[in-house]
Amino acid sequence: MRAAFLILAIVSLSPLVCAQSGVRPSPTPKGEDQEPVRVFTEEVRLPIAATDTYGHYDPTLTIDDVLVLEDGQQQQIKSIQHLPANVLVLLDVGNQLGLKDTNLTRDTAMKVINGLFAGTQIAVMQFAMKPELLQPWTTDKAGIEKVLKTKMLSGKSSRLADALAAATAQFKNTPAGTRHLIIVSDGVDTPGGKVTMAAALKQLNSIQASVHVLSYTVLERQELEAKTKIVKAGDGVQRDGAPGGNPVANGDPTLPPGTTRTPSFKIGSIDTDVAMRRKRKEYERATQDSEKQLVAIAEESGGRIFLPTNSSELFAQAETVARDIGSQYVLTYRPTRPLSQGEPGEYRKVEVASRRVGLYLRSRKGYVVPNNY
């Protein structure tokens, strides 16, 4: 005789993982062979940000406040908890064309870190030609600040895809539903890395972390425009001078009588290098493409992207990121259509709506059914 035991295996969105039960055979006549059958159910763990009208954390969220739809079908919520977060800060220190300021990046990171709740687990990575873990998981904010002051170094290129893959690996031992990745970068990926961007994004999606982006793209485009701007204050053509032909009166005693000169000149940086102008234009276009990609990554994950126009905005938005992370809950539900009925790699759309006036919710837009189903 065989008996099937229903074992609850929590399957998270971060990533969705199945856990087998132990063997518990039912009573059978002595000597009869037994081969217990393991049966699985699953739960989805969904990070969800809850804020009030002013963008502040709402500490009163309950199950009755939230509506969850998966592929258009309403789901029964099992629990909502406010759990400690695990936050990895990923810092771009590649300095293509001299556009990034490592000190600004460091100060931005500390604005985020200092704004996180006490007890938050924090790790820090930097990347240029390759990713480097500066600080493993810790709750010691003062220790992190010391590390950033002594170990951050700039490089020539930025291989974001390699960095995303390395950051993903750091989350493997963190609890599902509590993972947050903060990217401080322009998102421009230098070719030649070990991992393609498509592969890196697939890995990032597998852990289902909330991604928050502080983007340098607008700041850099402003700087590129300033570097290439030419203001003409003359055309270099000689013209008749003032009446009487006094060259001194016309401002240049070296000219023949009756002539003067209004030379061309540039305000700001002198830019006569055609190749450099072309390179800057190409980089400007690259920031436009990378910005679209960063927007998609953040929105799909339930995070946000910020596009500051100056350092003051950047610092203020860094503090907003910290508040956003502090406002997140972990919601669990059991899919009405079991994961075992889905195809591996199948995408399921998730929608979250507020049932309470003045409550604003933000979450992932969906998840992928894992291969172990």
pLDDT digits (tens, 9 = 90+) for 100-119: 899 999 999 999 999 999 99
pLDDT digits (tens, 9 = 90+) for 55-73: 888 999 999 999 999 999 9
pLDDT at 149: 95
State the residue range of the domain holding 95: 81-225+279-334
Asked if residue 118 belongs to a domain, the reply is yes
CB 4 within 8 A of CB 39: yes
- Terminal Cα distance for the chain, rounded: 27
Asked if residue 323 belongs to a domain, the reply is yes
322 half-sphere exposure, CB direction, 13 A CA radius? 20
pLDDT at 255: 55
Asked if residue 305 belongs to a domain, the reply is yes
Asked if residue 21 belongs to a domain, the reply is no
Residue with tokens 């992190």: 144
Going from the C-alpha of 338 to that of each of 23, 45, 344, 369, the distances in angstroms are 22, 14, 12, 10
CATH of the domain at 285: 3.40.50.410
Tally of structural domains, the chain: 1
Asked if residue 123 belongs to a domain, the reply is yes
pTM of this prediction?
0.76
Asked if residue 363 belongs to a domain, the reply is no
Please list the ranges in the chain whose pLDDT falls under 50: 1-40, 231-250, 263-271
Asked if residue 144 belongs to a domain, the reply is yes
